[in-house]
Structure 1
Amino acid sequence: MVQTVKSADGTLIAYEQTGSGAPLVMVGGALSARQGAAALVPLLAGDFTVITFDRRGRGESTDTQPYAVEREIEDLRALAGAAGGPVHLYGHSSGGILCLEAAAAGVPVGKVAVYEPPYFTHRSRDEPWQVFANKVKTLADTGHGDQAVEAFIRHTGAHFDEGIKQTPWWPAAVALAPTLFYDLTLTADAVVPEERFAGISAPVLALYGDASPDWAAASAAAVASSVKDGHQGVLPGQGHAAAPEAVVPFLLGFFHD
């Protein structure tokens, strides 16, 4: 059943919870809504109360402008309040950055696991991140969401196959184009904010796949070394879209330890 919780600025955040046990909030990355974690839920719900949610501006959640990372942190604080106390966090890609920023800002968390937060990803210094973020925002705001999504995918370095535009995924991704600016703002200059993360006291597990580009391992190492209680894990044979059955053993081991 879909429920909502009101964030500090009045935005309604839609969420679902499944299972029993300590609350575990799943935080998706760019172009994902709460359904993006659907395959993980049944593998974790026997051990945790798994909370999936639509980040602001996505799915059944509302939105309030202007965007700021602090507002998304408040959304996680509201979810923790609805859960009745500290929550574990698992974030994928830019969702992992949001988890770390929330922990650094004092959101009540137990442990934090992240998979390949996109640090050290910039290949060109010709275009500052803010310039690209504003370009994507302008495309999305002027009705060119398809161009915004394509530009973003190409920006990540991933191969862009024109055939993707004929898949059922494409219209859903285009609908989420206005939120790409949010993820680009979270990632910013792709440098780990070590001074800020040094204040994170919660245990942190930084995961990456050994089939991912080199930046993923560098990111995990930097995140783990920047916090007070950091750990790393590598998933054999996995890339940025890791298989749920490869991720879950790491999460179970970490959150139960």
Structure 2
Amino acid sequence: MQTVTSADGTTIAYDRVGEGTAGTVILIGGAFSYREFATMVELARTLAADFDLTVLNYDRRGRGDSADSPGVYDVANEIADIAALVEAAGGKAALFGWSSGAALALLAAAEVPGVTEVVAFEPPFVVDPKDHVPPKDLEAKLHPMIAADDRNKTVRYYMTKAMGMPWLMVTAMRVTPFWKDLAATANSTAHDWAVMKPYMRGKKLDAAEWSGVTVPVLVLAGDRTAPMLTKGAKAAAEVLPNAQFAELPGVSHNPKVSILAPAIGEFLTRTR
């Protein structure tokens, strides 16, 4: 484990995997994800081994070994965290983001010098009012749960109200060994919501708002994912100035690394 210090003094923990010659990519997880999550670990190792990439796999603030800024949930801080990681990578790196991490990666690409490319896997933009639109008071209810450190309630609330998962599915997850990992990262969901709040309102994305993302972008979605996520991914590719969309066969929002990693690696190393 290595660390960097973000602009506001928050310590961000990361693992450096591989010492490749084909460039560096920073992995950005979504809600409840963290750097020791099995999919993130496997993805980091595969990109390093198969594509000669150096991979920085980090804990977003409030997760794992990274510190937090309790009560302060500002997207600018998470973008600054990424800027610190890019600097640690030598001033130049690509970004891979999953779910809310994909949206964060796109936002960072417009602000952080040295970002070379972005691969965005299923950014959860809600662009159709017929799909699940989180309640307008979500933040007002979520923040007190976090302040009270009521982690089980926070997981249930965020999964059902923000992510739109069925209540019965979340209830069933409560008895699985995986629940403890969800509870451990529950308080970081306020950071996810700070990223996603403007883009889950059932409205079309504004191309002008994304015009600053000029680096090459690959937007990915699986053919077994929820239609809402596919709509959001396609909408992102349409408004970004330099983007392409691809659909991965046999992949859901919980991706198979054996299929996801080649799509990422081939895009990032295509000109090297």
What TM-score, normalized to structure 1?
0.93
Question: What secondary structure does 1:211 align onto?
Answer: coil
Is 1:56 the counterpart of 2:57 in the alignment? no
Query: Structure 1 vs Structure 2: percent identity of aligned residues?
Result: 33
Structure 1 residues 124 and 117, CA gap change in structure 2 (3 angstroms): closer
> By how many angstroms is 1:20 displaced?
2.0
Q: Where does 1:17-56 land on structure 2 (aligned, <5 Å)? A: 17-21=16-20, 22-36=23-37, 37-46=40-49, 47-56=52-61
Is 1:236 the counterpart of 2:244 in the alignment? no
- Structure-2 separation of matches of 1:67 and 1:161: 25
Contact between 1:134 and 1:181, CA under 8 Å: does it hold in 2? no
Which residue in the other structure is 1:200 paired with?
213
> By how many angstroms is 1:228 displaced?
1.7
Q: CA RMSD in A?
A: 1.7
Which residue in the other structure is 1:185 paired with?
194
Q: Where does 1:77-116 land on structure 2 (aligned, <5 Å)? A: 77-116=83-122
Contact between 1:137 and 1:180, CA under 8 Å: does it hold in 2? no
Which residue in the other structure is 2:124 paired with?
118
Structure 1 residues 125 and 161, CA gap change in structure 2 (3 angstroms): closer
Contact between 1:137 and 1:148, CA under 8 Å: does it hold in 2? no
> By how many angstroms is 1:237 displaced?
2.1
Question: How many aligned positions are there?
Answer: 254
Contact between 2:79 and 2:112, CA under 8 Å: does it hold in 1? no
- Structure-2 separation of matches of 1:82 and 1:127: 38
Contact between 2:73 and 2:194, CA under 8 Å: does it hold in 1? no
What TM-score, normalized to structure 2?
0.88
Which residue in the other structure is 1:152 paired with?
158
Is 1:141 the counterpart of 2:144 in the alignment? no
Aligned AA for 2:165?
A: A
Aligned AA for 1:230?
A: A
Structure 1 residues 8 and 161, CA gap change in structure 2 (3 angstroms): closer
Which runs of 5 or more residues in structure 2 are unaligned?
Answer: none
> By how many angstroms is 1:235 displaced?
0.9
Residue by residue over 1:41-71, the C-alpha shift from the partner in whole angstroms, topping out at 9 and shown as x without a partner, is 2211121001100111111111224220000
- Structure-2 separation of matches of 1:27 and 1:74: 13
Contact between 2:134 and 2:164, CA under 8 Å: does it hold in 1? no
Greater alpha carbon shift after TM alignment, 111-120 vs 138-147: 138-147
Question: What secondary structure does 2:61 align onto?
Answer: coil
> By how many angstroms is 1:249 displaced?
1.4
Aligned AA for 2:93?
A: V
Aligned AA for 2:153?
A: Q
Contact between 2:156 and 2:170, CA under 8 Å: does it hold in 1? no
